[in-house]
Structure formats: structure tokens, C-alpha cells
Amino acid sequence: MTAWRDVREKENWAAEGNAVKIDLVMRERKLHSLRLIEVIVPERPTRGSTVRLECRYDLQRDNLYSVKWYKGVREFYRFVPNDRPAARAYPVKGLSVDLAGSSGSSVVLDSVQRSASGTYRCEVSSDAPYFDTVSKEKVMDVIEPPLKMDQPPIGVLGGSVRLDCPHDLGDIPMNSFQWFKDDIEFYRFMPRSRPPAQTFTVEGVTLNVLLSNYSSMYLENLRPSSAGKYRCEVSSDAPPFLKEQDEKELVVSELPEIRPHIIPDRGSYKVGDTVHLNCTTSRSRPTPKLTLLINDQPVDDSMTTTTVDHHADAFQSANLQFSFPVTHQNSRGSAVRVKCQASIADIYAATGETSIPVGQRTGPLISRPQQRPQQPRLQQPFSATPKDECLAKAMAILSRAWATFQ
């Protein structure tokens, strides 16, 4: 009985010892445990963009064995620091790995395509003696870049303008490309139709078909009715059946017929006076921007006041007001040069110019002591020894005249 009890005690002591050892091992392992902190995968990158996938982890006291990236179940990138080379890429459809830009904590994908959409998993493993492995996954959905119509310039009445709407569906087939003015369709392109292009009559739209293609419209003979909102719209012919659109407003300008006119409040000024002037434009659409220059130096817009007159026929005229004192510096003794520049985008620029006469400065003059003017001093005529009779007679006449003058 005693022997049996001794055996049981030894077994208990052994079990307790093992439990302590296990606890110590677990404590030690916890100190060395690999921990995955965060996996960063862009949720909705645009097709053709560069994407960086990040895997943030904490090795604690462990050594890194490997970092692997998977799309679905297929590995496309592996980083093993003890290998040479440390980074390797494996072919997966739609993925192009930039090895030079990738590392043990991130992988760079160049020019991602729609086929790159899917679930991405980062798997990190520690080296001996624990060989821990942790992983986490995220979903990425590659979307089409938004359709972007180039900002159309301001058109000129009777002129022409080009509206561009560049796009790229990549490997997704196009279903249609359409153009609208104020929500009314005037052009449609469907590559599977015969003929693929169709035009529709819309007020204000005169399309030059020879100079146009489905993504670039050349409008000519612009009229007031040509102004409005123009929209381009593209749709795909396969899942996910994308539709993108963009819209811009076209302004048709009717330019001023004459240059800006500068009107000062008086005909002439003196130093110390204040000049009040107006600069007025003739009727136009849209309103020109006015800029004032005094002696070729631009005047800050905050110092001027500009008003716009709206006429019944939708034309406008602008009026700029400005006041400034006349000084010796700005008048330069005789006049102040004033310029008024009118501009509409990059299609119109005209300058009105005038010179404002300036007299003497007003106010009391400072008197200066006057000096008695000195009489000019005449020099004695030169003397010369006559060399002939004629010269002697001339000298005699000159001497008598001089004596009489004295």
C-alpha cells in the first residue's frame, strides 16, 4: 500500500512538473508569438492605377521566415529574407508585380485591370523554433476610371469648337457611345451596328462628321442656340455592364464690337486732385473681365468696383470704376497714362487707352529769392595784323563801329 502511495505521489509530482514546464513554455512562446496587426488593401482602385498592398505584423522576438501574398488560392508574391533573391513573383492573370518597389511588408501592383478584382490574403510565417503562421484577407474591386470630358473652350459666334471625351474601357467591349445636348441625343456610336454611327437633328448643333469621331465632336457654325450642356456617355457590352458619363457647359460668345472706353470725370487735373474714371465695354456675351493699368502698372482688382448691366436680349456690358490721387510720381510732370484691358477667356482681348493731362500742383507755391539778372558780357573783338589793304580797311571800319557802340 505504501509503495502504491509512493508511486502515486511521484506521478503527481511529475504531472505538476510537466504542467509547470508547459506553463513556462507557453509563457516563453507568448513572448515570442508572431502577431498580424493589419492588412491594407485598397477597396476600389481605378483600372490602370498602381496599387500597394500592405501587411503589417509584429514578430516579437521571432525571426521572419516568409511573407506570402495570394489572390484567391493562387500565390503571386513571396518574400523570404534568407533566399537569394529574397522577393519572387508568380504569374497570375491581371496582376503585374513591381518587384523593385515591393518588400517584406508590402507588394506593388502596376496597372491593375478589372481581372485583378478579388480576395487578397497576406500570410506571414516565423522561423524556427516555433514556425507560427498568421494570415488575414481583404477584398479589392477594380473599377473603371470616371469618364472625363475635356473642358470645352468658349465658342465664338459663327466659329467652331471641339468637344473631347477620352475614355478607355480596357479589355471590356463597348456597347455604345452617345452624345447629348441638353439631354437630347445628337450622336450615337454602336460598334456592333451597321452603320455603327448615327446622327440626329438637334437645334443649335451642326456636326462636321468628317472631322469628328465617336469620342470627339467637332461643332461648327456656332449660334446662340448652340450654347448649353453637352454630355458624353459610354456603356460596356459585358458584365458588369458599366455606364460612365460626364457633362460640361458650352458658352457661345458674341464679342464686343469696340474697345473699352475710358471716361475721366474731368478734362484736366492738377497735382493733388483726385481722378474719378469709368471704363465701359460695349455689349457682349459673356461679360468681359476688365483690368486697369496706371502708367502700365496693374491696379489690384480689390481697389476697383465693377458692375454688369444686363440687357433684355441677354447681352451684358461691364463698367469699372476707380479713383486715385494725382501725384508728381504718377503724373510724371505732364500726364497720367491709363489703360483698360477687356478679355474673354483666351478668345478675345482689347485695350482702351487714354492720357489724362496734368498741370501744376495746386496749393501755395514756395517762393524763392529772385536774383537780378546779369547782363551778358560781350567779348572784345579779336585783333589781327592786317596782311593786305582790304583787310586793313575792314579792321578800321570794325574799330569805329565798336567805339560807337561803347
* pLDDT per residue as tens digits for the range 316-367: 999 999 999 998 888 776 889 999 999 988 888 999 999 999 875 444 333 3
Does the pLDDT value for residue 384 go beyond 70?
no
Which residues have C-beta within 8 Å of that of residue 200, sequence separation ≥ 6? Answer: 184, 185, 186, 187, 188
**Is-cis flag, bond preceding 288, omega within 30?**
no
Which pLDDT belongs to residue 401? 56
Length of the chain: 406
Does the pLDDT value for residue 146 go beyond 90?
no
Q: Residue 394: how many CA atoms within 13 Å on its side-chain side?
A: 11
The pLDDT confidence band at residue 229, using thresholds 50, 70 and 90, is very high
CA distance 35 to 136: 11
Q: How much is the mean pLDDT over the chain?
A: 82
- The arrangement of secondary structure in 33-140, i.e. its CATH architecture, is Sandwich (2.60)
Domain boundaries 261-359, corresponding CATH code:
2.60.40.10
CB 76 within 8 A of CB 95: yes
State the burial class of residue 92 (Cβ atoms within 10 Å of its Cβ: 0-12, 13-18, 19+): buried
Provide the residue type at 258 as one letter: I
Percent residues over pLDDT 90 in the chain? 50
Percent residues over pLDDT 70 in the chain? 78
CA distance 243 to 234: 6
Q: Which residue has the higher pLDDT, 178 or 21?
A: 178
**For residues 354, 359, 361 and 365, what is the CA-based torsion angle, rounded to 10 degrees?**
170
The reply to whether 155-253 and 261-359 are identical in fold is: yes
The lowest-confidence range among 54-58, 98-102, 170-174 is 170-174
pLDDT tens readout for residues 151-202: 666 788 899 999 999 887 776 788 999 999 999 999 999 999 999 999 999 9
Residue with cell 469620342: 215
66 φ/ψ angles, rounded to the nearest 5 degrees: -160, 155
Report strand pairing: 155-156 vs 252-253.
parallel
Q: Where are the domains of the chain?
A: 1-26, 33-140, 155-253, 261-359
The pLDDT confidence band at residue 240, using thresholds 50, 70 and 90, is low
pTM beyond 0.85, yes or no: no
Which pLDDT belongs to residue 218? 95
The pLDDT confidence band at residue 40, using thresholds 50, 70 and 90, is very high
Report strand pairing: 289-294 vs 297-298.
antiparallel
CA distance 385 to 383: 7
Which pLDDT belongs to residue 362? 42
Does the pLDDT value for residue 385 go beyond 50?
no
The lowest-confidence range among 59-63, 219-223, 352-356 is 59-63
CB 132 within 8 A of CB 30: no
Is the domain 155-253 a CATH 3.40.50.720 member? no
